[in-house]
Amino acid sequence: MLIAISRHWARYRLVYRALFFSVLLLGIYLGMRPAPPPVPFKFSMIDSVYHAGGLFVCTLLSYPAFPRWGRWWRAGFMFAVGLAVEYVQSFHPTRSPDIHDIYANTVGVGIGMLMVVLLGAAIDRAWAKNRN
């Protein structure tokens, strides 16, 4: 099954790249717009959930979209995206950067990288097992 998944990723790589850049641009837009994103329900840490969730999804989508990226490059790029959004927010009069958002970004990238590493190792084992 894992081999079928990796073949699927190879076949639809352009679709995954489009999804990756769509989610990335949506996150950048929401981070740089004048007003914070709408809150669907009352929860004090919803902004952190947005940050962690967005970078988690971007990190996961980066694996099938760009499988040749190294682990450190992938993690560094995704972390830099989160830092860039917080940096730009410091120049906007109605937004402010927050260290808790950077922590949430790090958690999202970290969990996403853990999933990418585990999934990559499972696919590598499946390919090796299939060769023998």
Please indicate, yes or no, whether the overall pTM of this predicted structure exceeds 0.85: no
- What's the CA gap between 118 and 2, in Å, rounded? 12
**In this predicted structure, what is the pLDDT of residue 73?**
94
Q: Note the pLDDT tens digit of each residue in 53-83.
A: 999 999 999 988 998 888 899 999 999 999 9
Helix (H, G, I), strand (E, B) or coil at 70: coil
- Give the other-Cβ count within 10 Å of 58's Cβ: 25
Copy the structure tokens of residue 1. 């099954």
Residue 5 has pLDDT above 80, yes or no: no
Please give the full DSSP string across 18-40, using - where no structure is assigned: HHHHHHHHHHHHHHHSSSPPPPS
pLDDT of 43 > 70? The answer is no
Query: CA–CA separation, 107 vs 49, rounded Å?
Result: 10
The percentage of the chain sitting over the pLDDT mark of 70, rounded to a whole number, equals 89
